[in-house]
Chain A
């Protein structure tokens, strides 16, 4: 195994379940990787991976939750913008009806008054046609 393959193997070991590794093991892996990178920079091996920050392992661990947070925030912004956009009529009707009821022509109590229903049934032109 040449140094390049060794470096790649070290990276794979670092990426796979680093959280499950004891700190001492993580330290030895990190040290080995740093040493490999240093040798690669000194020897200018072709195809060597570009130098990465020393805190590669710790910053790599932050990428996933940070990406999740960014995606969640983007989803929140899109959802909020969607609430401001014209919505299908049925959905808009659902959202508007409460405020339309209180600003409409009939008082709220009219919709629940059984006497008014009887009045409508017996005194409307529709019932007269029956």
Chain B
């Protein structure tokens, strides 16, 4: 009975990396080193993503891999900051959210030199996150 429960795919018991399929390990490769530190509930969510991977386009798959690498490289403090900012973004009205996405595309199209100039031009400017 216990064995059946452990083998049930619906149960979010902490799946060790070795228990993932080869395909899942390939998809989640950027998270391999961090996997032992990820709690069971989050592991289950990452595994859920692998189920959608096949239906993604190649570009979407590459983007996902790149973002997982970015995520894996973050410190715990940075991840907490990202989670908090993401929640705030999610709570914004749709039009405000879309504006932020447009602004990111504008900012991302700047050259590195332009970005440096921007930062130097506003060394004491209050970031948006600190706006009252």
Partners in one complex: yes
Distance in Å: Cβ of A53 to nearest Cβ of chain B? 24
- The one of A99, A114, A122 that contacts B45, using a Cβ cutoff of 8 Å: A99
CB pair B99 A99 closer than 8 Å: no
Known: A101-B71, A124-B128. A111 touches B45 (CB 8 A): no
CB contacts under 8 Å to A, within B20-56, are 41-42, 44-46, 48-49
A125 / chain B contacts, CB cutoff of 8 Å: 99
CB pair A108 B82 closer than 8 Å: yes
Count contacts on A: residues with CB < 8 A to the other chain.
Answer: 40
Is A96 close to B, CB under 8 A? Answer: yes
Per the bound structure, the CA–CA distance linking A113 and B16 in Å amounts to: 33
CB pair A105 B101 closer than 8 Å: yes
Per the bound structure, the CA–CA distance linking A14 and B127 in Å amounts to: 74
CB pair A95 B42 closer than 8 Å: yes
Per the bound structure, the CA–CA distance linking A123 and B6 in Å amounts to: 53
CB pair B128 A120 closer than 8 Å: yes
- Nearest neighbor of A130 in chain B, beta-carbon distance: B131
Is A59 close to B, CB under 8 A? Answer: no
Known: A80-B12, A97-B83, A108-B71. A121 touches B128 (CB 8 A): yes
CB contacts under 8 Å to B, within A102-125, are 102-125
CB pair B12 A119 closer than 8 Å: no
CB pair B45 A123 closer than 8 Å: no
Per the bound structure, the CA–CA distance linking A97 and B78 in Å amounts to: 14
Distance in Å: Cβ of A79 to nearest Cβ of chain B? 9
- The one of A80, A113, A121 that contacts B126, using a Cβ cutoff of 8 Å: A121
Mark B residues whose CB is within 8 Å of A: 1-2, 5, 10-13, 41-42, 44-46, 48-49, 64, 66-68, 70-71, 74, 78-79, 81-83, 85-87, 89-90, 96, 99-101, 103-104, 106-107, 115, 118-119, 122, 125-129, 131
14 A-B pairs whose Cβ atoms sit less than 8 Å apart in the complex: A73-B1, A76-B5, A84-B11, A98-B42, A100-B86, A102-B64, A106-B104, A114-B127, A119-B106, A119-B118, A121-B122, A123-B103, A124-B99, A124-B128
Starting from the known contacts A97-B86, A100-B86, 15 additional A-B residue pairs (CB-CB under 8 Å) come to: A83-B44, A84-B11, A95-B45, A97-B83, A99-B49, A101-B67, A107-B67, A109-B70, A111-B82, A112-B82, A115-B118, A117-B128, A119-B106, A121-B122, A122-B122
- Nearest first, the 10 closest Cβ-Cβ pairs linking A and B are A117-B127, A108-B70, A102-B67, A111-B82, A119-B107, A120-B128, A111-B85, A121-B128, A99-B45, A80-B11
